[in-house]
Structure formats: C-alpha cells, structure tokens
Structure 1
Amino acid sequence: MISKFLNLEWKQYFRSSHWQSGIALKVIMVFFALYLIVSFLAIGVGGYYFIKKMYPEADPLQMVNSYLVFAILGDLIFRYLMQKLPIMNIKPLLFLPIKKSKLVHYVLGKSSFSFFNFMGLFFYIPFAIVLIKEGYIISGVLGWLVTMILIIQIANFINFLINKSNIALGAIVVLLASLIGLQYYNIYDVASFGGRIFDAIYNTPLYCLIPLVALIIVYYLNFKQLSNQVYLDEAVNKKVEEANSVDLSWADKLGDVAPFIKNDIRLIWRNKRTKTVFLMSFLFLFYGLIFYTLDAYKNSLPMLMFASLFVTGGFTLNYGQFIPAWDSAHYKMLMSQSFRYRKFLDSKWVLMVTMTTILYLLSFPYLYFGTNIFLMITAGAIFNIGFNSLFLLYAGSFNRKRIDLTKGGFGNTQGTSATQFIIIIPLMLFPMLLFWVFDKFVGHNSGFIVVAAVGIISLLLKNYAMNFIEKKYIKDKYAMINAFGKES
C-alpha cells in the first residue's frame, strides 16, 4: 500500500502544471538546499576543531550541549514558520476501501522524511564522527546522536500539533526570549543547566530511551488528532466562518486612497499568508541583534548596513515584492471598476511607508548599541521609504504569478518567480555598495548621509516616479489579468 501511495505522489508531482511552470524556481531552491547542506557539513566537521582552537580549555561536546536547549526551541520556531505539513490529497481516497489508519500513518511517516529533519543531521552525524575520532566513548557518542535524531523527530511532530496555533508560537518565542534574557543578564545559567542534561545522556546512553518514549507519545497524539479529521463528511463539508467587521472609518481621512487602504487592511488580516507577512515584519526588528552583537560583523560596516535595512524593511520587502499579486484572485473584477490606477498604487505605497515608519519608531531601543548603529537604521528606514517602496511598486508590474491567500505563509513559494530573486539584488546591494564606497574613501558618516540622501531624493521625485509606474501598469494591465486568471 505504501508503494501505491508513493506512486500516486510521484505522478501528482510531475504531472502538475506547477511542475511545468516552476522549473527555474525549483533549480534555485535546489542550489539553496545544497548551500545549506554544505554549510551544515562544514560546521559539523570543523566545529570541534574551531571550538578547540577558540577555547582550548573547553570540552567541545559540553559547549555544544550547553546551547542545544536554545537550538531546539529555535528549531521549533523555524519549523512553525517555514515547514509545510505534507498533507496528502486524500479526499479521492476516502471513497476507496482503504483503512483510515493507513492513510494517517502514511502522512505522518512522510513528514519524518522532510528536508527540515535531514538538515540537522548534516551537523550532528559529522560532529559525532569527529568526536569518536578524537577519542570520545563510542557508546556515549552514539547515545547522544540517537537522542538528537529523536529530538528532531519530536520537533517535527510537535510542529504538527501546534502548526495553526499562534498562541503556541507566541509561547515558544516568549520562552526562548526569556531563556536568552536569563543567560545574557547572568540571572540564571540556562546554558549550564541544559548542558548537564545532554552531558548526562553522553555519560549514560540508556537515557536516550526517554526521548524515544516522548516520540512515541507525540506520534500517538498526532495519530489520534488526524484520525478524528479523516472522515468523508469532513472532506465534503466546507467550514463557514462569519467575517468580523472592524471599524476602519479612521482611514477616510486619507482621501481618495481610503477605500483601497481599507481593502488592503482587510485582505492582510483575513488571509493566512498576508497575516504571516504582517506579523513576521515585527520579528525582523530583531534581525539586527544577529549582526550588532557578533564580533565578526562589528568591523564590517556594509554588513551592518545590510542588517539595518531589514530592521525597518521587513514589511516593505516581503509585502512589496508580491504587489499586485496579493489582489490576483479579484484582479479582473478590480480592473473593471472605474477608478484611476494611480490611486490603487498610492494605497500600496502608503501602506508600505506607514509600516516602515511604525517599525522605525519601534527600533529606538537600538540606541543601546550606539548612535552609529541607530544612524544606520535611520538611513535604512529613509531608503526603504523613499527608494525601495517605489522600486518594489515598479518591479510589481512584472509579476505574473497568481497567489492563493488561503494557503500558508512561510515555506509557500506560490507566486514566486525569478522576478523576486532579481529585484532583491538592487534593493540590498545598491545601498551596501553606496555605503562601502563612501565609507572607504570619505568616511562612514558620509555613508549614512548618502544612503539617506538617495531615499530623500526618491521621495522628492515620487510624483514623477509614480506617473511612470502607473503607465507601466496600464500598459501591462491585460497581460496581468490573463496571467492572474490562470490557476497555479
């Protein structure tokens, strides 16, 4: 039966129109996956020797064990945002004499072979081999390795249970942030406590039976949950939800663009993918912490400029690159209405600028890292408001991929084409190049000024730019209507 399921999956994948139209994107994704694999392999093989070189007195295994608690929680968050649950199209199979339990076991078993599960193994397995080579007890290392493999699978099935719960995601984020805060401010040594747990598994390999029991429990919970949902009446009945109305009368003060702004706000909040983009834009506020706190980047000002663009540009970059595909489901109806196209574009611009401004105001705590860092963030915010918002609107005229807003957010490549990968080059590299040139030959203060100046000049030329962009959209209007009318 499993072979028949696999055969159906194979035919469905290669016969779909998505496969025929998305080969270029798949090639890019394969190269990205290979990059991640090579990176994890390099860390797994060289991690032991790097730790030994940097901290000669430390035990590399104990140091890795100390931070596994943070890594496991981070992996859960990453999975929630990025991993697509491999739900098989089982509606046609519900009419056939196939045991429901077999369908559920297949779906759960298939999830165990997710790329997200294999990715960690490219670190843990080479690291374990190096440990054995360096004289660690073989049984202890194997017990540790088995534990890590089991924890990866536990995280996979926990993700099944919590995948649609924003409360669960918030709880994990708060827990991780709290543990990092306790460690950073020396309130409690979380790393040492977590390290002792995994050190105990190395010293007593039989402890690996504990995560095995935990894996059996979460698998059983998933089996029960999915079994209760795999019914024919569940498949044919559509869930009807009553839309909650929100008072958006305050938007009337924005003038002619108010109706479009209201529609955009409703679209963002009522659909999974757009809501994910909106909520994730606030997580991008913490992107700078990765760069501003690491010594490796403190002397690389262009990289800090790169991070500064993301701090305030999370919404603009992620939402703007799919304009006007967000409206693809009703684009034909929208284009049949009597309004000036400029108002439609202005509403998108106002939305991006407003969110960038809000994120900039929320970035004020970065003053803790010094005025130079905050000047970078300020210059990046001005650049996002002035240049990036207009550039993304123009780039949107090349979008020809329909988006189904009811589907998940992260890990969903629907609507993605080569356009998204091409436009990211000038958006990111242009300000970095500007900053690097003026920082090297004039001084880093001039780098802030030039990046901000490009944003200000773009703002001053906004009216001319919007007229040009409007003409481009009108020219491609019917090509977009035709493209958006096709099912992905």
Structure 2
Amino acid sequence: MFKRFLDFEIKQFFRSTFWQKGIAINIIMGLFALWIILSFLGIGLGGFYLIKDIFPDKDPFELVNGFLLFYVIGDLIFRYLMQKLPVLNIKPLLMLDIKKSKLINYILIKSGVSFFNFFSFFFFVPFSFILIKEGYPSNNVFSWLTGMITIVFVINYLNFITNKSNIAFGIIVTTLGSIIALQQFGIYDFTGVSATIFNSLYNSWIFILIPVALLVVFYIVNYKKLEAQLYLDDAIKVKVKEANTSDLSFVDRFGDLAPFMKNEMRLIWRNKRTKTVFLMSFIFLFYGLIFFTQEAYADKPAMLIFAALFVTGGFAINYGQFIPAWDSEYYRMIMTQNISYRKFLESKWLIMSTVTFVLYVLSIPYLYLGLDKFLMITAGAIFNVGFNSLFLLWSGSFNRKRIDLDANGFGNTQGTSAIQFLIIIPLTGFPMILYWAFSSFLGFNAGVLAIAAFGLLGILLKNPIMNLIEKKYIKDKYATIHGFNQKK
C-alpha cells in the first residue's frame, strides 16, 4: 500500500502544470539542493581536520559537541519557517476501503525522508567515519551517530507539533537568542552543557534511549492529532472561524496612507508565506554575528558591509522583491477601484522602511562588538531605506507571476523568476563596491559615509523617484493583470 501511495504522489507531481511550466525553476532548486548537500558533505569530511588546524590544543569532536545544542535549536527554528508539513491528497482516499492507520502512518513515515533530515546526514555520517579513521572507538562513534540521527527525527516530528503555534515559535527563538547572548557576553557557558549532553551519547549507548523515547512520544502525538482530523466530513466541510480584528488605529497618523498600510499589515500577518518572510527578518538580525565575530573577515570589510545590509534589510529585501505579487490574487479588483496608485506604492515603501528602522533599533547591541561594526549597520540601514526599498519597488513593476499566500516559503517557487535572482546583485553588490572605492583611498569612515550618503540622497529624492516608479506601474498595469491571471 505504501508503494501505491508513493506512485500516486510521483504521478501527481510530474503531471502537474507547475512541473511542466517551471522546469527552469526546478533545475535551479535542484542545483541549490545539490550545493547544500555538497557543502555539508565537505564539512563532514574536512571539518575534523579544519578544527584541528585552527584549534590544535582542542579535541575537534569535543568542540563539535559543544555547539550541537545551538544546532538543534537553530534547526528547529529553520524547520518552523521553511519545512512543509507532510501532505497527502486524502479526500478521494477516504471514500475507499483503506484503513486510516495506513494513511496516517504513510504521512508520518513520508516526512522521515524529508530533505531537511537528509542534509544533516551528509554531515554526521562522514564525520563519524572520519572519527573512526582518526582512532576513536567505533562502538562509541556509532552510538553517538545513532543518537544524532534519532535527534534529527525527533526535531522533525516536534516541528509538526509546534509548527502552527506562534507562541511556540516565540519561545524557541527567545531561547536561542538568550543562549547566544549569554554565551557571547560570557555570562554562562552553554558549550559546556552542550558537550556534556552529546558526549553522553558517545560515552554510553544507554543514553540513546532518551531521544528514542522522545521520538516514540512525538510520533504518537502526531498520530493522534492526524487521527482526530481524518474524517471525510471534517475534510470537506467549510470551516468557520471567528474573525480576529487588531487595533491598528496607531497607523491613522499617516493620513491617506493609513488604509493602505493597515491592509498591508493584515496581509503580512494573516497569510502563511508573508508571515514567514516577516518572522525570518528577525532571524537575519543575527546574521552579523556570523561575520563580525570571525577574524577571517577582519581584512575583508566589503563582506562585513554585505552582512550589515542584511541585519536591518532582511524584511525589505525578502518582502520587497515580490511586490506587487503579494496582491496578485486580488490585483485586478484593486485596479478597478478609485484609489491612488501612488499611495498604494508609498504604503509599501513605508512598511519596509518602518520594519528596517525597528530592526535597526534591535541591532543596537552590536555596539558591543565595536563602534565600527555598528556604523556599518547604521549606513546599511540608511541605504536600505533610501536605495534598496525604492529599487525593489521599481523592479516589482516587472513581476508577472502569481503568488499563493497560504503556501510555505521554502520549496514554493510561485512568483519566482529570473528577476528575483538578478536584483540581488545591485542590492548587495553596489554598496560593497561603493565602500571599496571610497575606503581604498580615503579610509573606513569615507567608505561608510559614502553608503549612508547614497541612501540619504535616495530619501531626499524620494518624491521624484516615486513619480517615475508610479508611471512605470501604470504603463505596465494591464500586462501585470494578465500575468497574475495565469494560474498554474
């Protein structure tokens, strides 16, 4: 029966219009997946020796175990934002003589072969063989590897329990942020706790029973949840929810822009894909820690500028590149209304600028890493508001692909075209070149000031630039409507 279910899904995938119309995107996504696999494989094979070269007085295995706690929590956050829940088109199957237990078990087992599980294996498996090659006892290594593989599946099924809970997501993010902050500021050493936990899997196989027990518990919980929902009448009935309204009166101070801003804020928060983009922008706040804390980038300030842009520009870049496709489902209706196209566009610019400012305020703790790092972030924030947000609005006039707002962000290529890949080049490359040109001759301050000045110039010239953008949208109005009407 499992083989038959799998055959159904394979046929459904290759017969879909998405597969037939989006071959190029599928190839790009496949190459991206291959790149991730090769990266993890390379780290798994060479990580031991790289750590040994950088930290010759430390045990590479102990060092890896010291950071696995961060990996586990980070993986859970990544899955919450990116991983699709296992789906099987079960409505037709519910009318057939098929046991519900088989359907549920198939859905849950299918999730076990998720890409999110396999890319972890490409690190843990080769890393384990390297450990054995370097003289670590094979029994202990296989005990550790079994425990880590079990933990990967534990994270997989835990994500299905917490995936639709914003409270759970907030707790997980707060936990990770607190652990990183306490570790970074030397208040508490969580690497020691992590090393103790994961070393126990290596020292004694008996500790493997803990993740195994958790795996069984989470599998049963997911089974019970699906079993309670697997009824034909529940699958076909129209679900009626009480409308939740939010007090957005604080936006009224923006006058004529307020109604547009309120609609934009509701769109962002009420739809799965836009909410994912919004929540991910706060993850990008920690992006600077990857670069600013590494000595390898100390002599590559242009790369630090790249990181500084994403600290405050995560939302503007990821959300702005799909404008106006977020409104594609009702874009034709909007174009029939007696509304100001300028205000429609300006509200989006103001939303991107406001979130950028909020992220900038939240980035103030980067002062701890040095005033120079915070000046880069400040210049990046001004550039994001004055150049990137306006450039994204202009490039949005070329968007012609429809977006399903209820779909997850990862693996969903609706609305994606070559434009999304091309616009990243000026958004990140231009400020890096600008910094390099000025800092090479006039020093660090000149490079940072050049980026900030260019962003400030965009803010001062916003009105004439917005006029040009508005004319471009009006000119391409009917082409955009036609593109959004093409359903896959």
Cross-structure match for 2:64: 64
| 8 Å CA contact retained: 1:24, 1:418 | no
Shifted more, 167-176 versus 207-216: the winner is 207-216
Deviation, structure 1 residue 185: 4.1
Given the superposition, is the C-alpha separation of residues 109 and 409 from structure 1 closer, same or farther in structure 2, using an over 3 Å criterion?
Answer: same
Cross-structure match for 2:223: 223
Amino acid paired to 1:106: Y
Cross-structure match for 1:361: 361
Given the superposition, is the C-alpha separation of residues 411 and 15 from structure 1 closer, same or farther in structure 2, using an over 3 Å criterion?
Answer: closer
Please give the alpha-carbon distance, in whole angstroms, between the structure 1 residues aligned to 2:456 and 2:19: 43
Deviation, structure 1 residue 371: 2.2
Deviation, structure 1 residue 372: 1.5
Cross-structure match for 1:9: 9
Cross-structure match for 2:109: 109
Matches within 5 A, 1:361-380: 361-380=361-380
Cross-structure match for 2:325: 325
Cross-structure match for 1:125: 125
Given the superposition, is the C-alpha separation of residues 181 and 361 from structure 1 closer, same or farther in structure 2, using an over 3 Å criterion?
Answer: closer
Is 1:169 matched up with 2:169?
yes
Cross-structure match for 1:233: 233
Is 1:350 matched up with 2:354?
no
Query: Percent of aligned positions with the same letter in both sequences?
Result: 60
| 8 Å CA contact retained: 1:63, 1:195 | yes
Deviation, structure 1 residue 465: 1.9
Amino acid paired to 1:398: F
Please give the alpha-carbon distance, in whole angstroms, between the structure 1 residues aligned to 2:461 and 2:7: 57
Deviation, structure 1 residue 255: 3.1
Shifted more, 390-399 versus 57-66: the winner is 57-66
Given the superposition, is the C-alpha separation of residues 45 and 276 from structure 1 closer, same or farther in structure 2, using an over 3 Å criterion?
Answer: same
Amino acid paired to 1:442: L
Could you list the structure 1 runs, at least 4 aligned residues long, displaced by more than 6 angstroms after superposition: none
Shifted more, 416-425 versus 200-209: the winner is 200-209
Is 1:477 matched up with 2:474?
no
Matches within 5 A, 1:55-454: 55-454=55-454
Given the superposition, is the C-alpha separation of residues 380 and 469 from structure 1 closer, same or farther in structure 2, using an over 3 Å criterion?
Answer: same
Amino acid paired to 1:368: Y
Q: Tell me the SS of whatever aligns to 2:397.
A: helix
Please give the alpha-carbon distance, in whole angstroms, between the structure 1 residues aligned to 2:56 and 2:434: 41
Q: Tell me the SS of whatever aligns to 1:228.
A: helix
Please give the alpha-carbon distance, in whole angstroms, between the structure 2 residues aligned to 1:388 and 1:310: 11
Please give the alpha-carbon distance, in whole angstroms, between the structure 1 residues aligned to 2:264 and 2:136: 59
| 8 Å CA contact retained: 1:161, 1:222 | yes
Q: Tell me the SS of whatever aligns to 2:51.
A: helix
Deviation, structure 1 residue 206: 4.2
Please give the alpha-carbon distance, in whole angstroms, between the structure 2 residues aligned to 1:313 and 1:342: 23
Q: What's the RMSD between the two structures over aligned residues?
A: 1.8
Given the superposition, is the C-alpha separation of residues 188 and 434 from structure 1 closer, same or farther in structure 2, using an over 3 Å criterion?
Answer: closer
Given the superposition, is the C-alpha separation of residues 409 and 455 from structure 1 closer, same or farther in structure 2, using an over 3 Å criterion?
Answer: same
Deviation, structure 1 residue 181: 3.7
Shifted more, 151-160 versus 198-207: the winner is 198-207
Gaps of 5+ in 1: none
Please give the alpha-carbon distance, in whole angstroms, between the structure 1 residues aligned to 2:337 and 2:328: 15
Q: Tell me the SS of whatever aligns to 1:37.
A: helix
Question: Deviations for 1:207-252, whole angstroms, at most 9, x for unmatched residues?
Answer: 3233223222221221111111111111011221222233434434
Question: What's the TM-score once normalised by structure 1's chain length?
Answer: 0.95
Given the superposition, is the C-alpha separation of residues 364 and 65 from structure 1 closer, same or farther in structure 2, using an over 3 Å criterion?
Answer: closer
Please give the alpha-carbon distance, in whole angstroms, between the structure 2 residues aligned to 1:183 and 1:247: 38
| 8 Å CA contact retained: 1:84, 1:412 | no
Question: Deviations for 1:293-340, whole angstroms, at most 9, x for unmatched residues?
Answer: 222223221111111111211221121111111111111110011233
| 8 Å CA contact retained: 1:276, 1:410 | no
Please give the alpha-carbon distance, in whole angstroms, between the structure 2 residues aligned to 1:214 and 1:224: 15
Amino acid paired to 1:136: Y
Question: Deviations for 1:413-443, whole angstroms, at most 9, x for unmatched residues?
Answer: 3222221111111101111111122222331
Given the superposition, is the C-alpha separation of residues 358 and 174 from structure 1 closer, same or farther in structure 2, using an over 3 Å criterion?
Answer: closer
| 8 Å CA contact retained: 1:383, 1:452 | yes
Please give the alpha-carbon distance, in whole angstroms, between the structure 2 residues aligned to 1:54 and 1:351: 44
| 8 Å CA contact retained: 2:287, 2:311 | yes
